[in-house]
A and B are shown apart, each in its own frame.
Chain A
Amino acid sequence: MSAIVATLRPYQAVFKARFTLLLQYRAAAFAGFVTQCWWGGIKLMVLAAFFRSVRTTPMTFQQAVDYVWLGQAFLTLLPWSVDPEIARMVRSGDVAYERLRPLDAHAFWYARAIARRTATPLLRAIPMVLTAGLLFHVFGMSEWALSPPAGVQAAALFFLSMVLVILLSSAIATLMDIATVAALSERGVNALVGPLVIVFSGSLVPLPLFPDWLQPALRLQPLAGLLDTPFRIYGGHFAGLDALAALGRQAMWTIVLVLLGRLFMRRVMARLQAQGG
């Protein structure tokens, strides 16, 4: 038992250090919060006009409202970009030191990625959920407000799904970090992955609103597990067996991508090119 605790300690330490550091940026978080509200508002006004224009829709407007606000609240959970510190390490050649640590390199970076997806997102999500869920009612804007989850079961499954979101998003982020080591620069990785994440996670447009012929493919691809899955569970769009199947897809993609990351990490670290000077 104590051996396990001792093994886990360094990963726990890097998690804690990153968490505390990221909590320092409160002013940035506030500015981000205001921007997110504004953005969410514009998005909803556009969606409302689209919903007014037709009779039948694949989701109710209330479900779309919930989807958009949750999307704004948990935006920072997405694997947007390579960890800037790892990018710096690659540029300076310091990444070579990662080989000297008596630790599992993938687990170490994965723990960093998880920390990055816990501190800042919490700061962002809580005020957003409170504002959209409570304050909007106070100001008489109930039709634009975030509604509570579709039921107790939906709430529990949503929570579980959000945990999987963090694990899946971090697995993708770690893959991006490793790709940066291989490519010697983070630019290309960010330029390539960022737009894909925006479109296929449901952050850009709720995935149920894409054309019907695209739905089967959208459901199976890994990035749906980043936002779309928990949000559909929240609004009752996925319930019962559908919800469990969606959670299963999320878990499966997480495991596949973590294993893929471990494989890549081993190969990249085996023939590591360090820049320096």
Chain B
Amino acid sequence: MNGLRLYGRYVSVSWRSQMQYPASFIATSIGAFATTITDFIAIWALFARFRQIEGWRFDEVALLYGVISVSFALADGLTRGFDVFGERFVKTGDFDRLLVRPRSTALQLLGYEFRATRIGRLAQGMLAWGVGVHLSSVDWTWTAWGTLLFAVLGGVALFSGILVLQATLAFWTVESLEIANTLTYGGVEAGQYPLDIYARWFRNFLTFVVPLACISYFPVASVLGRVERTGVTGWLLPITPAFGFVFLGVALWVWGFGVRRYTSTGS
């Protein structure tokens, strides 16, 4: 069985096990929707009061928020194994079992659990996205949709990369550190607004260290025709999400380094 088919098998097993409790699945998904929609309510309330944020309108921010929310929801649903890596695998020594199987550890962790309830976050992201598209005056060409789709793919790669790095840290700290939350949830929080409203050091951090700008702000600004706000050459903007994949690649390389250094906790 090749890797992709094995992964498909993992997902289908995980899906079926979660569907054993349909009521719980529906309740948790609705809960996730209700909790995450509050961020969009905040955007709405602030725009109802202030009308604009340094020249950016509500529909534009709604689109930015929608794109980054959808990316994070997908990444969060796919990478549960990395998220709980410290407690479930390192602390218990269960990672040893992954090492003796003839498949890559990354693939096995990716298949650990597919979290269907993340559909709640995904749905509210798509709702915000829809509101943004509906209110905007942008010409929705295939190029525009393609740019945003590529941005989402890059975003999934970037957020997954952050979670892989969090898991790698657990090789040394044993416990999963929630410090990565400042980059995942915090990234969604910061990236839902156009980055030019922030101070330069913060914008540079979100561009060059953790390339969040590349997976929402740059491509969305290009679709919205707001190239001049970014200070980047226009044709570059739509292809910047590629840096999300570069980030994931680096994260997986660091992960491999961690795996080679791993010593079991025993028992």
Interface check B31, CB cutoff 8 A: yes
Residue of B nearest to A32 (CB): B178
Q: Shortest distance in angstroms between A3's beta carbon and chain B's nearest beta carbon?
A: 46
What's the nearest-Cβ distance from chain B to residue A39, in Å?
7
Q: Does B142 sit at the interface, judged by CB under 8 A? A: no
Do B199 and A205 touch (CB < 8 A)?
A: no
CA distance A211 to B46 in the complex (A): 8
Report the Cα distance A38→B184, complex, angstroms. 12
Q: Which of B49, B55, B177, B190 has the most CB of A within 10 A?
A: B49
Would you call A31 and B34 a contact (CB within 8 A)?
no
Question: Are the C-beta atoms of B27 and A191 separated by less than 8 Å?
Answer: yes
A45 near B182 with CB under 8 A, answer: no
A interface secondary structure, majority: helix
Q: Check: B1 CB closer than 8 A to any chain A CB.
A: no
Q: Whole-angstrom distance between the alpha carbons of A49 and B199 in the complex?
A: 10
Give the chain A neighbours of B197 by CB distance below 8 A.
45-46, 49
Q: Which residue of A39, A42, A50, A204 contacts B41 across the interface (Cβ within 8 Å)?
A: A204
Contact status A31-B178, CB under 8 Å = yes
Chain B positions 22 through 63: 1 when the CB is less than 8 Å from some CB of chain A, otherwise 0: 001001101100110110011001101111111100000000
Q: Are B186 and A38 in contact (CB under 8 A)?
A: yes
Mark A193-206 against chain B: 1 for CB-CB distance below 8 A, else 0.
Answer: 01100110000110
CB of A54 within 8 A of CB of B198, answer no
Q: Are B31 and A191 in contact (CB under 8 A)?
A: yes
**Alpha-carbon distance between A104 and B190 when the two chains are bound, in angstroms:** 47
Whole-angstrom CA separation of A46 from B189 in the bound complex: 10
A211 surroundings in chain B (CB, below 8 A): 45, 48-49
* B77 to A: closest C-beta gap in Å: 18
Say if the beta carbon of A210 comes within 8 Å of chain B. Answer: yes
Residues of B within 8 A of A271 (CB): none
**Which A-chain residue is minimally distant from B198 (CB atoms)?**
A45
Question: A31 touching B179 by the CB < 8 A rule?
Answer: yes
Number of residues in A with C-beta < 8 Å to the partner?
Answer: 31
Q: Closest chain A residue to B190 by CB distance?
A: A42
User: B140 contacts the other chain (Cβ, under 8 Å)?
Assistant: no
Within the assembled complex, what's the spacing in Å between the Cα atoms of A190 and B34? 11
Give the nearest-CB partner of B199 in chain A. A45
| Contact among B41, B48, B199 with A199 in the assembled complex (CB-CB below 8 Å) | B41
Query: Per-position contact with B for A36-62: 1 when CB-CB < 8 Å, else 0?
Result: 001100110111011111100010000
A51 to B197 Cα, complex, angstroms: 11
Task: Pick from A46, A53, A187, A209: contact of B52, CB below 8 A.
Answer: A53
* B50 cross-chain contacts in A, Cβ below 8 A: 50-51, 53-54
Which B residue's beta carbon lies closest to that of A54?
Answer: B50
- Chain A residues near B55 (CB-CB < 8 A): 53
Within the complex, the shortest CB–CB distance from B67 to chain A, in Å, comes to 17
The closest CB in chain A to the CB of B178 belongs to A31
With the chains together, A46 CA to B50 CA distance in Å? 12
Tell me if A5 counts as interface (CB < 8 A to partner B).
no
Q: Which residues of B contact A210 (CB under 8 A)?
A: 45, 48-49
Determine if B263 is an interface residue (Cβ-Cβ < 8 Å): no
Complex CA distance for A199 and B30, rounded to whole angstroms: 17
A137 CB → nearest B CB, Å: 18
Q: Is the CB of B53 within 8 A of A49?
A: yes
Task: Let me know if A126 is at the binding interface, CB within 8 A.
Answer: no
Chain B residue numbers with a CB within 8 Å of A204 are 38, 41-42, 45
Considering only CB atoms, which chain A residue lies closest to B24 in the complex?
A187
A248 at the A/B interface (Cβ < 8 Å)? no
- 9 further A-B contacts with Cβ under 8 Å, apart from A49-B193, A205-B45, are A35-B182, A43-B189, A50-B53, A53-B50, A53-B51, A187-B24, A191-B35, A199-B38, A204-B38
What are 8 A-B residue pairs whose CB atoms fall within 8 Å in the complex? A35-B182, A46-B46, A49-B197, A50-B53, A53-B50, A54-B51, A58-B49, A187-B31
- Residue numbers of B with Cβ under 8 A of A are 24, 27-28, 30-31, 34-35, 37-38, 41-42, 45-46, 48-55, 177-179, 181-182, 186, 189-190, 193, 197-199, 202
